[in-house]
Each structure stands twice: as C-alpha cells, then as structure tokens.
Structure 1
Amino acid sequence: MNGDWLIRGRDGRLTVYLPSGDAVLCRAERGPAGPWDAARTVGGGQKLLPGPAIGQGADGYAHLAAWRPTVPGESGLVHSTHFRPRLAPLDWASIGHPDKKGDRTGPPAVAVDSAGRGYVFVRNQGGGLSLRNQKEKGGWGPWQNLGGHDVEGEPAAVTGESGLVEVYASVPGGVLHWRQEEPGRTPVRTEGVDVPVRPGTLCALATSAEHTTLFFTDTSGDVCAWRPGEKPVTLIASAGPGPVSAVRCAIEGHDCTVLAQRSASGRVAFAAYPTEQEPAGAWWTESGPQLPSDAVVSVALDEQDEVVAASVSPSTGTLLLARRKDEPGLALTAWREL
C-alpha cells in the first residue's frame, strides 16, 4: 500500500489494509485494544492490479485507490471509501484514466482534505503528475494535469494541519512539490529541491500548523527530512532498503516524531526525535522477530494516543502488532500475530 495502511478510525478502533493477490483486504479491531475480526475484501469482487494507495481524513474515513484492468492492454483507476470499521467499504467506483485511456502509468497516492474530499494523484503518460478529486457537493471533478516531469516511484500525498492537501514526487536528482493555496483549490507547484533521492522511499507527515515534512532516503543510504522553503537535513542512516513510516506522538510530554522501518537484519527498527528538530539527532532501536525480506511496517496512534506498530509480509500473509508499553521511553510490548 502507498500510504499509512494501519489507521485508527473515528471510534478508536484500529484497521489494517493489506494487498492480497488481485484484491485489498481489511481487518479491524472488534473494540479498542480488543480481538480482531477476520479479513474481508474491500470494494466487492473487482480484480485489482498491484500497488493500491490509501489516505485518511480528519473525519477518520479511509479513501482507497487502485488500478484495475479494463480491456486488454488498458487499465483504469477505481476508488472506495471506508467510513467505519464495523461497516463494509463501499464498492469500487471507476474514476478513469489521467490520459483518458491506456495502461497504468504509475502507482497512485491519496490524500483527504478537511472537508472529507478524496484527492487521487498519479503519474501521467507525459511523466508529470495528474489529479482527480471529489467535488464539494458530490461526484468527481475532471482529471487535471499538474505538470512536472520524469516522476518516479510512488508520490507521497499528505494533508497538513491546515487541512490543505500537498503532494511530493521524486524525479531524477530531486523532489517536486505541490500545495493547495486555499481549501478546494487545485494544488500548485512550488519550489522543489535538488537532492539525490531514491525513488520509492517518500513518506510525508504533517509536523506543525505551518509545515509538512518529507522523509526520504538519498542515494548514499541516509534518511533525510525536508520541509519546503528549507534545506534537506540528514537525519539518520537508513536501517533498511524500504521507506520509513512516521507518526507524531507525545513521549514524556514532548512532541516527537517516531520513524519505523524494516532493518537490514530483518527486524523492525524505531527512532524518535523532537518534531522538526532534526539536529537533535535520532538513533535506531530494533524490536521483534526477524521478518521476511518483503515485510513492511506501519505506525499509528491507538485510542490512547500511544504508538502502535504493525508489520506484514505479503509472501506469508503474517500480520504482527506491537504497542507502546506504559513506561518511559518508546519500549514496546512483545509482537503478537493477529
């Protein structure tokens, strides 16, 4: 999944979204910190292509987007909304193709604005970024070409504390950035940054009322943080090859950003530092058992606003969960299989 696939719903229950073959599955807690329901398929029986995306709004609703095959050699994007863990997600609804027709052009990314409208971003055939978003009074607006060039890997879409939607995309030798200037408006391209970024490692997080922060791995193997208008900062050597997952939480009364990543040793590595204070430094602490090479990790906050982490291996389907202990620091409980 492109985006945070472990989320907390508006009722405090956690839900995970997991690609499985030609479908997306979801599992939810029966109650906060309670047992988990069995997996069920999102959106009905439509067959999907790999690389779905997810975003969540302030209302707690999840929005999902994915490619599906249409006719031989062509594909189209579909969208689903999941309102509450106890309800089934809506059936997949077609939102078309950024170039009207053709094969899939790249993995989508999803954000949700303060009014609960979904924004689906995807690379177009020209190499730039396109957008289709829901309208205020229902339905979808037309596809819009946001410009850009040579977009690589998964874009990272995020909604700031202001409710304005932003999106980042990696290109050879740099990162491009688009941001809404007003609610409901089309995001416009702002100043990017020249940096040697590895495609497929972008992760964006709202870190203050004014800023979102992009985390990425550069070509030397370091995890870097960048806020538009500032210079990128090297934060920590990457623990492993994939992207980090990030969440903000209070640790001993301090606003901190927690990063998680599957490490090269196969375990899950965690690091924490004061939010937007990268010069304070961070270091990795590994947790849990050794995981398969394709395992990924996601972090979120539970009903008590405490850190909870999940890992899943697509090849084995094994889903593990750990929660922060009720003690100082970032110590976690033993990982358990769901």
Structure 2
Amino acid sequence: MNGDWLLRGRDGRLSVYQLSGDAVLCRAERGPHGPWSAPRKVGGEQRLHTVLAVGQGSDGYAHLVSWRPTAKGESGLVHSTHFRPHLAALDWHPIGHPDKKGDRTGTPAVAVDAQGRAHVFVRNKSGSVSMLAQKEKGGWDPWRDLKGKEVHDGLAAVTGESGRVELYAAVPQGLLYWRQDEPGAQPVLKEALKAPVRPGTLRALATSPGRTTVFYTGTSGDLCAWRPGGEPVTLLPAAGPGPVSAVRCDLDGHDCTLLVQRTESRRVAFAAYPTEQESAGAWWTESGPELPLDALVSLTTDEEDRVVAATLSPSAGRLLLTRRKDEPGLALEAWREV
C-alpha cells in the first residue's frame, strides 16, 4: 500500500481501501459516523497483484493504481477512479508499462493535480522514475522518463497547495525531489539531498502554500523532516517500521501536523507539532490495543474536521477506528471495530 488508504470523500463519508488476495476491497460509511458497509470489490473482476497506490484530488475523487498479470512473467499497470465511497468505482483500465512490457518494476505512487488529473509514478527497469499523466479531457499522455539513478522502491507523490504535483524518492545517497514548474508540465528534478535514508519510509505532505514536507526515517532510526531548499530536521526517534501517516489539522486554534505510526510494540503512536515548526519538538503518545504484525495505520479528518485514525489488518480483516473528542488537546475516543 502506497498513500493514504483512509479517505474522506466528496460527500463527507469516510472510506478505506484494502488488499485482499488478487482484489482491492472498499468499505465506506453509510452516514456520518457510520454504520459502515461490508467490504466490496473495486473495479470489477480484474485479477491484481497484491499492490495498491491511492491518491485523492481536491474534488474528493480517489484514484487507485495497481499491477495486473498480463502474460507469464509480465504485468501491466491499471487505474480506477472512485467518485463516491458508496458508489461502485470505475472498472480497472489498463495504462501500460513504463518499459512498454515486462514484469513489475516497483510500487506505484499517485498524486492528483488541481485539474483532477492523476499522475502515476513508478520506478522503471533502469532504476529511474517514469510518469504517466491523465489528459484533462480524457485519455493519457505518453510515458515520460523523469530520470534519476538507483531509485529505491517506495516513492512519495504529493500535490502542493498550488495544485502542482511533486515527487520524492530515496536513492543510496539520500533523496531526490521533482516538481512541476506549471500545471500540466512534466515534473523536473530540482534538488538532491545527501542524507542517510531508510528506503520505504517516505511520506509527503503539503504544509504551506509554496512548500511540501517529506518525512523519512534515517539509518540511525530517527524520524526526519525535509523541505526542499533547506536542511533536514530530526524530529524524534521513529516509533516503528515503515512510513508515518500525516495530516494537517486544527488543534486548539493552531495549525498542526499530526503524525501516526505503528510502534515496535505493535500499538499506535501519535505525535503533533505546529506545522513547519519542527524546532518546537514532538513526542509520541501510544494508543489503542496491540495490533497484528501486518497492521497498517492511516489518518484523515472527517466532515467536521475532526481527526480520524484507523488501523487495518489484512490478515485478520479487522478495521479499528478512533476520532478526536470534542474537547481541548488531542483526546481520542475509545478505539472501536467497524
């Protein structure tokens, strides 16, 4: 899974996406605060590999990308759009392969620009990054090679407040950063950061009108934040493996960035700080029950702009949810299974 799988739709309802065997399933709220629908298959009967990238535009539409088997030893990427959580998603549509044909080359990442166009990024067989973008009036542009070298799997795509698409990638020497100079343009490699980065730990978030922030775990085990044009900042020790989930929210009248991560002890840990003010400090607070080893965590805000956190275990099929209470601070309701 790459990207936030817990989303608030255009109608305000929450939905979650999960991998199940050779399919993607979706569950959604039937109304505010539930109850929730039973899991249902997304995109028809197409058989998929166990990989999913999720992106969401400002219109609230979810864009899903996965790999499907096409022939022995070969695969191709497919895309689906989900307009409303309680409606059926569009059928999976083949969008090709970054090298024209071959097996899977990496986990895709998806970002959606201000015009609602999905941008799909994936590592290609040469170790650089390829991109495929939707046309505004339908169809797709040709695959484009964005260059880069020795790119690790686990790309982090993000849309800035400007509506322009950006991309971060880990390489053996650190991080690479691409950005669109104007809407619809091909993202350009803008900056390379030399830093010890653990592959597979990147998560990016729009944090101000002109900037995005990427969070990553360094080889020392510390969670770091970096905004292009500046130096990386160490926030606090990572709570556990994998990337954090991040969301901006209002906490007692302050614009804050809230992070969540599964801990080494298999619980959920939260940390918050004033957005782009890492020097203010942050610390983890654990919450909820012990989780299965494969549990994922994600964050969003509901239609009342209250923080919502979810954990999902693909093996156990358990979806747990909590919301921020209507009181000062980051007090959460009891976790409940839905």
How does the TM-score come out when normalised to structure 1? Answer: 0.99
* Partner residue, 2:46: 46
Letter in 1 for 2:113: D
* DSSP 3-state at the match of 1:153: coil
* DSSP 3-state at the match of 2:154: strand
C-alpha separation between the residues in 1 aligned to 2:150 and 2:24? Answer: 29
C-alpha separation between the residues in 1 aligned to 2:8 and 2:281? Answer: 28
Moved runs in structure 1, 4+ residues, more than 4 A?
none
* Partner residue, 1:240: 240
1:199 and 2:199 matched = yes
Task: Quote how far apart the aligned CAs of 1:84 are.
Answer: 0.7
1:225 and 2:225 matched = yes
C-alpha separation between the residues in 1 aligned to 2:188 and 2:80? Answer: 26
* DSSP 3-state at the match of 1:189: strand
Write the mapping of 1:252-331 to structure 2, written as runs, cut at 5 A.
Answer: 252-331=252-331
C-alpha separation between the residues in 1 aligned to 2:74 and 2:11? Answer: 39
Task: Quote how far apart the aligned CAs of 1:86 are.
Answer: 2.1
1:136 and 2:139 matched = no
C-alpha separation between the residues in 2 aligned to 1:289 and 1:275? Answer: 28
C-alpha separation between the residues in 1 aligned to 2:279 and 2:51? Answer: 34
Q: Deviations over 1:56-101 (max 9, x none)?
A: 0000000000011000000000000000112100000000000000
Letter in 2 for 1:255: D
Letter in 1 for 2:215: F
Q: Deviations over 1:105-128 (max 9, x none)?
A: 000000000000000000001100
* DSSP 3-state at the match of 1:192: strand
Write the mapping of 1:71-86 to structure 2, written as runs, cut at 5 A.
Answer: 71-86=71-86
**Identical-residue share of aligned pairs (%):** 71
C-alpha separation between the residues in 1 aligned to 2:297 and 2:196? Answer: 24
Q: Deviations over 1:262-318 (max 9, x none)?
A: 011111000000000000000000000000111110000011101000001122111
* Partner residue, 1:123: 123
C-alpha separation between the residues in 1 aligned to 2:239 and 2:309? Answer: 16
C-alpha separation between the residues in 2 aligned to 1:137 and 1:10? Answer: 21
Whether the aligned pair in 1 keeps the contact of 2:123 and 2:153 (CA below 8 Å) is no
C-alpha separation between the residues in 1 aligned to 2:290 and 2:330? Answer: 20
* Partner residue, 2:112: 112
Letter in 1 for 2:33: A
Task: Quote how far apart the aligned CAs of 1:331 are.
Answer: 1.1
Letter in 2 for 1:123: R
Whether the aligned pair in 1 keeps the contact of 2:14 and 2:302 (CA below 8 Å) is yes
1:60 and 2:76 matched = no
Letter in 2 for 1:46: Q
Q: Deviations over 1:180-209 (max 9, x none)?
A: 000011111101201111111000000000
Letter in 1 for 2:172: P
* Partner residue, 2:103: 103
1:211 and 2:211 matched = yes
* DSSP 3-state at the match of 1:279: helix
* DSSP 3-state at the match of 1:191: strand
Q: Deviations over 1:18-42 (max 9, x none)?
A: 1111111000000121200111111
Whether the aligned pair in 1 keeps the contact of 2:64 and 2:81 (CA below 8 Å) is yes
C-alpha separation between the residues in 1 aligned to 2:107 and 2:169? Answer: 11
Task: Quote how far apart the aligned CAs of 1:173 are.
Answer: 2.2
* Partner residue, 1:6: 6
* DSSP 3-state at the match of 2:153: strand
C-alpha separation between the residues in 1 aligned to 2:238 and 2:135? Answer: 40
* DSSP 3-state at the match of 2:102: coil
* Partner residue, 1:336: 336
The alignment of Structure 1 onto Structure 2 pairs a total of residues equal to 338
Task: Quote how far apart the aligned CAs of 1:239 are.
Answer: 0.5
* Partner residue, 2:165: 165
C-alpha separation between the residues in 1 aligned to 2:46 and 2:307? Answer: 34
* DSSP 3-state at the match of 1:63: strand
Q: Deviations over 1:214-258 (max 9, x none)?
A: 000000001000000100000010011121000000000000000
C-alpha separation between the residues in 1 aligned to 2:137 and 2:324? Answer: 41
C-alpha separation between the residues in 2 aligned to 1:264 and 1:115? Answer: 40
C-alpha separation between the residues in 1 aligned to 2:101 and 2:252? Answer: 52
* Partner residue, 1:91: 91
Task: Quote how far apart the aligned CAs of 1:154 are.
Answer: 1.0
C-alpha separation between the residues in 2 aligned to 1:87 and 1:314? Answer: 23
Question: Unpaired runs of 5+ in structure 1?
Answer: none
Question: Unpaired runs of 5+ in structure 2?
Answer: none
Whether the aligned pair in 1 keeps the contact of 2:77 and 2:96 (CA below 8 Å) is yes
Whether the aligned pair in 1 keeps the contact of 2:270 and 2:285 (CA below 8 Å) is yes
